[in-house]
Structure 1
Amino acid sequence: MYDVIGTRASRAFRVLWMLEELGQDYNHIPAAPRSPEALAANPSGKIPALRDGDAVLTDSAAIMTFLADKHRALTNAPGTVARARQDAFTHQILDDIDGVLWTAARHSFVLPEEQRVPEVKESLKWEYARNIARLSDALDGPFLKGEEMTIPDMLLVHCMGWAKKAGFPDAGDKLNAYAATIMERPAFQKAAALP
């Protein structure tokens, strides 16, 4: 059984959702960043972390890739062109969407107050709008990669929810409909209902 260390209201949600999609048993430890539980799993105190036996893995995207490869679901086979295209979407979302949102969060409440530059958030919202439009243009099917949901879909839908809560620009009708359909999945609903 896996242990997932991290609160649902963080990137740990991605890992919890993936485990629900995979039908895997897990123990959820809803630890905050830099809490004793988080520090025990990751010396930086960052969440999420995944414990699999004696191994501890960190970084939500790395954990998701590990789980998808291990359970051979929600991914394309390593070494294939389809996997390379999937990984390109994953990195695009992490760089262009997640990175922008994280920078805004850092300048809102993460960094020490004297290090925050609140004015940067307006340019980040502009950048998000431009980048989300590119992903909307790339959506060609029910999922980013066509007919089957893969890791980048989960990352994008999670980031879209984060963006909405943070007051970022609307993603548009096409992506909103896409996200709404994905959020109806039972696994998403179960992860969202966790404490």
Structure 2
Amino acid sequence: MYTVIGTVKSRAARVLWMLEELGQPYEHIPAQPQSEGVVQFNPAGKVPVLIEDGTPITDSTAIIQYLADKHGKLTYRAGTLDRARQDSLTQFLLDEFDAALWMAARHSFVLPEELRHAAIKNTLRWEFERSQRTLVHRMGEGPFVMGDIMTVPDIILTHCGNWALAAKFPIVEHRLSDYLQRMRERPAFKRAMAL
């Protein structure tokens, strides 16, 4: 059985949701970043951490792609053009969405107060809105970001969309708003967020 360390209000939500979609049993330890229960498995103190057979795996994207590959669901097979497209979209979301949101969080509450620069958030919001316009041109036809099947980028994009709304980063593309609403209705998503 898997163990997931990290609160649902962190990137651990991605891992919890993936496990719910896969129907895999897991134990959830809602530890905060930098806590002793986290640092013993990840010296950086960051969550999530997935533990399998006593081995910790860190970084939410690495974890969810590992789980998708291992269970043969929510991903295209490695070495295919579809997987190359999937990996490209994953990297785009991490670079353009996750990075902007994380930088805004750092300048809101993560960094020491004397190192925070509130004005940077205006630039990050502008970049986030521009990235949405690029994303809608990359989205496939169908209910999911790549088209007909749910993949790893769907989990990242939905998590970033929810994070954006909580951080007051506007969702300006109607197609993205509709997509996020559909994804939030998934039973596995609701189960993971209820933890």
TM-score (norm 2): 0.97
Superposed, 1:113-152 pairs within 5 Å as 113-141=113-141, 142-152=143-153
What do residues 78-115 of structure 1 show as CA deviations (whole Å, max 9, x unaligned)? 11111010000000000000000000000010001111
Distance 2:41 2:100 in 1: 26
Distance 2:166 2:133 in 1: 18
TM-score (norm 1): 0.97
Aligned sequence identity (%): 52
Unaligned runs of 5+ in 1: none
Superposed, 1:1-195 pairs within 5 Å as 1-141=1-141, 142-194=143-195
The alpha-carbon deviation at position 117 of structure 1 amounts to 0.9
What do residues 35-54 of structure 1 show as CA deviations (whole Å, max 9, x unaligned)? 11111111111000000012
Deviates more, 1:58-67 or 1:38-47: 38-47
- What RMSD, in angstroms, separates the aligned Cα atoms of the two structures? 0.8
Distance 2:137 2:170 in 1: 16
The alpha-carbon deviation at position 171 of structure 1 amounts to 3.5
In the alignment, residue 50 of structure 1 is paired with which amino acid?
Answer: L
- Runs of 4+, deviation exceeding 2 Å: none
In the alignment, residue 150 of structure 1 is paired with which amino acid?
Answer: T
In the alignment, residue 59 of structure 2 is paired with which amino acid?
Answer: D
Distance 2:140 2:65 in 1: 23
State how many pairs are aligned.
194
Distance 2:95 2:171 in 1: 19
Query: Is the 1:160–1:171 Cα contact (8 Å) retained in structure 2?
Result: no
